[in-house]
Structure 1
Amino acid sequence: MKKYILFSFVGFSSLLFGQGGPDVIVTGIGLRQVEPAYRMSESPKIIDTTIANPVIDFPLLALQHPTKIEVEPINPATIKTEQKLNQLYSTYVKLGIGTELMPLGEVYFDSRRSRKFVYGVHAKHLSSYGNIKDYAPAQFDRTKLGLYGGINEKNYTLRGDLHYNNQGLHYYGWKIPTDSVDRKTTAQRFQDVGGAVSFASHKKDSANLNYKVGIEYNNFGSKKPIEDSLSDWRARENFFGFNSSASYKLGKEIYAADFNVRYNGYKYGSLGDTNSSVIDTGIVLNNTIINLKPTISTYLFNNRFKAKVGVDIVIDAHQTTKAHIYPVAELKYSMFNDIFIPYVGLRGGLKQTSFKSLTAENEFLLTNVSMRNENTAIDFYGGIKGTLSKRISFNVNASFARIQNKALFVTDTLYSVGNKFNLLFDTLNLTTIEGSISYQLNEKLKVDGIGRFYSYSLLNNTYAWNLPQWQAIARGSYNLFDKFLINLDLNFEGGRKALVYAMEDDVTVENLQFAKTLGFVADINLGLEYRYNKRISAFIQFNNLASQRYNRWYNHPVQVFQFLGGITFRL
C-alpha cells in the first residue's frame, strides 16, 4: 500500500513540474559603487649594506737562515757545423796496375754546381798482357773516351754527348801452345764512334704539352784484314735514330705517345761477291724499324691505383716488310702506404739486332753474320714489390714470354778453327722467376741480393745454348768512418749448355745434338779502399777470389785470381 502511495506522489509531482508559467520582464537602474583609491605617502629608499672588512695583521717571525753562494764552472757550449752541400772536385784520377801486367788509368772531369750548364769528360784505359795456359794468346785492351754537355733552363733542357771506344782482343779459344801462334792471326779490334743530341720541354702548367725529341748516330766496325786486297771484307755498321715522345695531362689521365725511327746498315764485303775463300760471300743488311706507341695512364684512389693501357704499332722493314701490333697494359696498386705494391702487365716489342749489340754480349763473334730482329710476341708479367721498413725493400715477380728469332751463340767450325762463334736463331718460350731484396743504412751499408730461375722451351734446339738456368747475385758495400770502403760482389750461375760436334767429357746426346755442360760459375770479387783524406785514397781489388777457371763461353776459360792496386786523387 505504501508503494502505491509513493508512486502516486512521484507521478503527481512530475505533472506539476511539467506545467509552464507566464514570462515576466523587469526593467530598472542598477547602482554599483567602487571604493576610492589611496596613494602611499612614503617614497622608496636605498638601504646601505656596506660592511667594513676587518684588517688582520700577521706579524713576521724574526728568523734568518744563513745562505752560502758557490760558483761552479760550466762547460762552454759547442756547436757542430756541417756543410749543406759537399764540396765538389772537378777532376778525379784513378791509376793502378795489376797482375799479368794489367795497367789501369781513368780520368773524370766534370763541371761543378751550376744551375744552367753541365759538362764533362770521361776517359778510361784497361789492358792485360797476360795469357791463359795451354791456349792461344789472350791479351786485350779497352780504351774509352766520352764527352757530354747540357743546358738547363726553366722550361727546357738541351743535352748532347760524344763517345769513342777502341777495343782490342784475341780469339784465344784454341787449345794450342801460346808461342806457336802468330798473334796477328787471332787479333781483332773494334772501333766505335758516335753521338746524340736531345731537347726536352719542362712546362709546369698541366694544360701544356711536354715533349722530347732527339737524334743519334753511331759507326761501328771491325779491323781490316791483314791483306790490303781484302780491306772491304770486314764488318761495318752505321746506325741512325730519331726518338720523340710527348705527354699531356688532362684531369687524372695522362695521354702520351712515342714515335721512333731506327735504321741500322750492316755491310760485310760486297753483296753477291766472294773473296779468296769460296765459302765467304758478301752480306749487306738494311734494317729499319718504325714504331708508334700511344698510351693512356690514369691514377685513382689518391694515386694508389695506377692503370696504363696502349698499343705499340711497329713496322719492321728488314729483309721483308712486316707490321706488328703489341699490347701495352699495366696495373699496380699501392697498399698500406707503399708497403706492398702488387702489379701485373702485358707487353711485347721488336728488338733491333745489330753487330754492335751482339759483340757487346759475345766479343768472339764472327764478323760475317746474318742477323734477324728479335720479336717478343707477348710478355706477361706480374709480381709484388714494396718496402718492409725504411731500410729494406723487395721485389718478387714472374713472367712468361714468347720470343721469335732469339739469337743463340754456338761454336763456329766453318770459318775458324773453333775459336769464334756463329749465330743460331730459334723460337722459344721463356719462363722467368725472380726475387730481389735490398738493405740500405744511409750511406754506411748497402746490401743487394738477386735470384733468378729460367725455363726454356725451344722449337728446333734441345737447349738454349750458353744461357744459364739460374743465377744468384749478391752485392754489398760498407763505409767505415768514411775512411775504409769495402765492396764485395758474388756472382753464381749454373745450368749452361754448349753445342759441340763430337763426343767428349761431360757431353750428352739429345735429339741428335751434342750438348756439353759448361759447369758451375763462381765469381767472387773484393775491393778495399783507404781514404787518406778527401782528396787522396789508395785501393786494392781482388778478382776471382775462388781462382776458378770457369768457361765464360765454350772453350774460353777466364783468367784465375787477379790482383789490382793503385791510387786515386781529386783536384
Structure 2
Amino acid sequence: MKKSFILYSFLIIFGNSVFAQKDSTQLKQEVEVVKAYKPSISDAFKINDIPQIQDATAKKPQFNYQITPQPVFTTFPTEPLQAAQMVGEPKAKQGKGLLKLGIGNYQTPYGEFFFNTKAGKKTDFGLHFKHLSSNGKVKLINTDRVDAPESNNLAEMFTKHYFRNSSLNTRLFFDRKGYTYYGYAGNFMTDEEKEMLIPHWQEKQAMSKGGLQLNLFSNEDRRSETNYMVNMNYQYLGSKTGQTEHFAQLGTNMGHDFDSFKGLLDASVTYLKTDSIFNNTSDAYGIKQQILLQIKPSILFEAETASLKAGINLFTMLDDDSDARLLITPNIYADWWPVEGVLALFAGADGYIKHNHYSVIAEENPFVDPYQDVENSEYQYILFGGIKGQLTKRLNYRFQVDYSSIKNQHFYVLNNFVKPENETELSSLNNTFDVQYDDLKQLTLRTELYYTASELVNFHLKGNFYSYDLNTLETAWHKPGFDLTLSGMIHPEGPFSFSTEIFVVGERKAPVVTINPLANSTTSVYTIEPVIDLNFGMEYQYSPKLSFFGRANNFAFQKYESWLGYAQQGFNLLIGLSYSF
C-alpha cells in the first residue's frame, strides 16, 4: 500500500508540467544559490553584510517561521568573509581568487581560500576551502574552567554551465564540525565527580557531511510562458558516535502564464534513512526510514498595485514505524500598495511539516543526545500580516504579526537520575539534551528597519517579540521573550572600513528533570540570563590586492550560555590579512 501511494504521488509531482512560472521570485531566489565568485579587496571583509529590505509589487516576502531559539550568538564561529558567490554575467571581468589568513586568542587559526575560473566558454568553475578552530578553555557559569575545543572544516566545488535555454548549477561539498560535550548544569564539580557522574563528559563529537547538489533551471526569457526549476540533492552524514544519515531529495518548481493568471506548482519527494539511533517508536536502537511528499499548487493574480496568490499545501509523511501522516494547509498571500513604494499592506496563511531529521536537530542543538530521534512538528497554520514600504529615500521598514499553531513542538531538557535507594544521591548527571513535546500557539511581533545615511553608512535593526501558549509544559524551555539585532556598516573615504553588531536576547528558562525509577520525577527550573553580545570589525585596505582585518567578538566581556550548562567564549579577537589575485 505504501509503495503504491509513493509511486502515485511521484507521478503527480512530476507529471503536472502544465503548471509554470514566468517570473517567480521564489524560483529566482533558488536559482541563484550557486554564483561565480568575483574577488575584490573592497568586498573581501564584509562581516555579516547587511541586506537591504527588498520591496516590490506582487512579490511574496520570505519569512522565517521557525521558532527555534534565535541566537544566543556564540562568539566561536567568527565569519570574517561570506561564502563565495558563484554567478554573474558569464562574460564579466573577474579575478581568480582570494586568500584569507588569520589568528586569534583561544588558540584560533583561521584560513579561507576561494578560486574561480572559466572552464570553457559556457562553464564557470569555483573552489572554496575554509578552516576555523579553537582550542582554549571556557569558564562555565558555575566558575568551572573546562576545555572546549571546536573546529569547522569546509570544502566546496561549484560549477555553472550555460545551455541555450537553461543553466545547470552543481555543488560538491564536504563539511566537518568537531566539538566536545564540555558543559554541565548545576554547582561546581571536581574532575573526579564529572568523570564518575556525567556519561558524555568531554566526549569528542564530530559531524561529517558530504554531498552533491544539482540545480537545473530555465533561463529568464520574457517571451516564454513557461518557467521551471528541478533540484536534486543527496547528502550523507556520519557522526563520531556512530550515527549515519542518508538524505535524498528531488524537487521541482514550475510556472505557466495563462491569459489572466499564473499557475504555479512547487513539489518534492524526500527520502531519509538514519541508523544507530534510539527509535522512539520501537524503543530500540536501530534504523529509521521516512519519506516526505510535498505538493503545493497555487494560482497567482497580479494587478498594477496588488497581487493575490491562492492555493493549498499537501504534505504526507510515510514512516516505516508508524501510520502515515497527512497535513493540508492554506497557501495564501496578498499584498496591496495604496501608496506605491511608500506603503504596502500584506497578509497570508501558510503551514508545513518540519522534518526534524538527525542532521537538522544536530545543527539546531549540537549538544543534544547523540542517539536522538526527535519527532516531526506540524505547523498546522501560520497566519501573518503587516505593512512594509519606504518612509523616506533612506529608510525602509517592515512591521509584521505572525500567529502559528504548532503540533508536537520539541523543547530541550536535561535529565538527571538518582539512586532508588537514596534519592539525594545522583547515579548520573546528563550533559546532553533530551526533549519534551507540547502543542504550541505562538504570537510573534516582528520589526525591521534599514537606514542608509549615505552610500558609505548604513544601519539595520531587527526585533522579534514572542508570546507562547502551551498545553501542558510550564514554559517554552530555552526560548526567549524577545531578540534584537542592530548592525552597522561604515565605509568612510580612505583605506579603512568598519562594521558593528549588537545582539540582545531575552531571559530564558531551562529545566533539569531528576528521575527516580521508583518515584515521581521532579523538575528544577534554571534561569538563563539575558544576552548582550557586542561585536566590532575593521579592515585596512593596504593596496588593491592586499588588506588587513580585525574582528572583536563579545567585547563587553559577558559570560553567557547558548544552552543550559554550555557557556560561550568571552572576549575573543581575530586578526589577519586578505590577498586577492
**Structure 1-normalised TM-score?**
0.76
Matched, 1:472 2:480: no
Q: Is the 8 Å Cα contact of residues 136 and 181 (structure 1) preserved in structure 2? A: no
Shift of 1:96: 0.6
383, 392, 400: which one aligns with 1:389: 392
Separation in structure 2 between the aligned mates of residue 362 and residue 270 of structure 1, nearest angstrom: 17
Sort the Cα spacing of 1:108 and 1:443 in 2 relative to 1 into closer, same or farther, 3 A: farther
Separation in structure 1 between the aligned mates of residue 428 and residue 404 of structure 2, nearest angstrom: 34
**Structure with the larger strand share:** 2
Q: Which moved more, 1:201-210 or 1:214-223?
A: 201-210
Q: Is the 8 Å Cα contact of residues 206 and 248 (structure 1) preserved in structure 2? A: no
Separation in structure 1 between the aligned mates of residue 334 and residue 121 of structure 2, nearest angstrom: 37
The aligned residue for residue 88 of structure 1 is 94
Over aligned residue pairs, what C-alpha RMSD do you find?
2.7
Read off the aligned partner of 2:310 and give its amino acid letter. V
The aligned residue for residue 417 of structure 1 is 429
Separation in structure 2 between the aligned mates of residue 353 and residue 270 of structure 1, nearest angstrom: 15
Question: Pairwise mapping of residues 329-348 of structure 1 onto structure 2 (< 5 A)?
Answer: 329-348=332-351
The aligned residue for residue 238 of structure 1 is 246
Matched, 1:264 2:272: yes
Q: Is the 8 Å Cα contact of residues 364 and 420 (structure 1) preserved in structure 2? A: yes
Separation in structure 2 between the aligned mates of residue 518 and residue 184 of structure 1, nearest angstrom: 22
Matched, 1:218 2:219: no
Matched, 1:517 2:517: no
Separation in structure 2 between the aligned mates of residue 512 and residue 416 of structure 1, nearest angstrom: 15
Q: Is the 8 Å Cα contact of residues 135 and 176 (structure 1) preserved in structure 2? A: no
Separation in structure 1 between the aligned mates of residue 551 and residue 512 of structure 2, nearest angstrom: 36
The aligned residue for residue 158 of structure 1 is 168
Matched, 1:310 2:327: no
Sort the Cα spacing of 1:493 and 1:205 in 2 relative to 1 into closer, same or farther, 3 A: closer
The aligned residue for residue 463 of structure 1 is 475
CA deviations on 1:329-374 (whole Å, 9 max, x unpaired) are 1110123222111101011111111111111111111111222111
Q: Is the 8 Å Cα contact of residues 163 and 195 (structure 1) preserved in structure 2? A: yes
Identity rate of aligned residues, in percent?
A: 24
Could you say what secondary structure the match of 1:111 adopts?
A: strand
Could you say what secondary structure the match of 1:413 adopts?
A: strand
Separation in structure 2 between the aligned mates of residue 192 and residue 353 of structure 1, nearest angstrom: 17
Which fold has the larger relative contact order, with Cα–Cα distance below 8 Å and residues 6 or more apart in sequence? Answer: 2
The aligned residue for residue 152 of structure 2 is 142
Read off the aligned partner of 2:457 and give its amino acid letter. L
Could you say what secondary structure the match of 1:314 adopts?
A: strand
Sort the Cα spacing of 1:390 and 1:412 in 2 relative to 1 into closer, same or farther, 3 A: same
Separation in structure 2 between the aligned mates of residue 95 and residue 170 of structure 1, nearest angstrom: 25
Shift of 1:186: 1.6
Q: Which moved more, 1:370-379 or 1:130-139?
A: 130-139
Sort the Cα spacing of 1:464 and 1:315 in 2 relative to 1 into closer, same or farther, 3 A: same
Sort the Cα spacing of 1:205 and 1:520 in 2 relative to 1 into closer, same or farther, 3 A: closer
Read off the aligned partner of 1:314 and give its amino acid letter. F
Residue ranges of structure 2 left out of the alignment (5+ in a row): 1-90, 418-426, 515-520
Separation in structure 2 between the aligned mates of residue 178 and residue 315 of structure 1, nearest angstrom: 49
The aligned residue for residue 105 of structure 1 is 111
The aligned residue for residue 74 of structure 1 is none
CA deviations on 1:23-45 (whole Å, 9 max, x unpaired) are xxxxxxxxxxxxxxxxxxxxxxx
The aligned residue for residue 287 of structure 2 is 284
Matched, 1:250 2:250: no
Separation in structure 2 between the aligned mates of residue 115 and residue 258 of structure 1, nearest angstrom: 32
Question: Pairwise mapping of residues 428-467 of structure 1 onto structure 2 (< 5 A)?
Answer: 428-441=440-453, 443-467=455-479
Task: Count residues in correspondence.
Answer: 464
182, 189, 195: which one aligns with 2:212: 195
Q: Is the 8 Å Cα contact of residues 239 and 262 (structure 1) preserved in structure 2? A: yes
Matched, 1:122 2:123: no
Separation in structure 2 between the aligned mates of residue 271 and residue 181 of structure 1, nearest angstrom: 28
The aligned residue for residue 498 of structure 2 is 486
Separation in structure 1 between the aligned mates of residue 547 and residue 220 of structure 2, nearest angstrom: 43
Could you say what secondary structure the match of 1:282 adopts?
A: strand
Read off the aligned partner of 2:112 and give its amino acid letter. E
Separation in structure 2 between the aligned mates of residue 548 and residue 314 of structure 1, nearest angstrom: 44
Sort the Cα spacing of 1:416 and 1:449 in 2 relative to 1 into closer, same or farther, 3 A: farther
Separation in structure 2 between the aligned mates of residue 311 and residue 271 of structure 1, nearest angstrom: 32
Separation in structure 2 between the aligned mates of residue 202 and residue 222 of structure 1, nearest angstrom: 39
Sort the Cα spacing of 1:417 and 1:514 in 2 relative to 1 into closer, same or farther, 3 A: closer
Separation in structure 2 between the aligned mates of residue 466 and residue 269 of structure 1, nearest angstrom: 24
Shift of 1:135: 4.0
Separation in structure 1 between the aligned mates of residue 522 and residue 473 of structure 2, nearest angstrom: 10
Q: Is the 8 Å Cα contact of residues 283 and 368 (structure 1) preserved in structure 2? A: no
Shift of 1:424: 1.6
Matched, 1:399 2:402: yes
CA deviations on 1:284-341 (whole Å, 9 max, x unpaired) are 22121101111100112x2x11000001111111232022111111110123222111
Larger radius of gyration: 1
Shift of 1:395: 0.3
Q: Which moved more, 1:262-271 or 1:194-203?
A: 262-271
The aligned residue for residue 63 of structure 2 is none
Separation in structure 2 between the aligned mates of residue 116 and residue 200 of structure 1, nearest angstrom: 15
167, 172, 193: which one aligns with 2:177: 167
438, 446, 451: which one aligns with 1:426: 438
Separation in structure 1 between the aligned mates of residue 341 and residue 105 of structure 2, nearest angstrom: 48
Separation in structure 1 between the aligned mates of residue 146 and residue 318 of structure 2, nearest angstrom: 41
CA deviations on 1:210-249 (whole Å, 9 max, x unpaired) are 211121101112114xxxxxxxxx2211101011121001
Sort the Cα spacing of 1:222 and 1:416 in 2 relative to 1 into closer, same or farther, 3 A: farther
Residue ranges of structure 1 left out of the alignment (5+ in a row): 1-84, 225-233, 275-279, 503-510
Read off the aligned partner of 2:204 and give its amino acid letter. A
Q: Is the 8 Å Cα contact of residues 462 and 513 (structure 1) preserved in structure 2? A: no
Q: Is the 8 Å Cα contact of residues 331 and 349 (structure 2) preserved in structure 1? A: yes
Could you say what secondary structure the match of 1:357 adopts?
A: helix
Could you say what secondary structure the match of 2:348 adopts?
A: strand
Sort the Cα spacing of 1:501 and 1:205 in 2 relative to 1 into closer, same or farther, 3 A: closer
Question: Pairwise mapping of residues 362-377 of structure 1 onto structure 2 (< 5 A)?
Answer: 362-377=365-380
Shift of 1:109: 1.1
Q: Is the 8 Å Cα contact of residues 182 and 201 (structure 2) preserved in structure 1? A: no
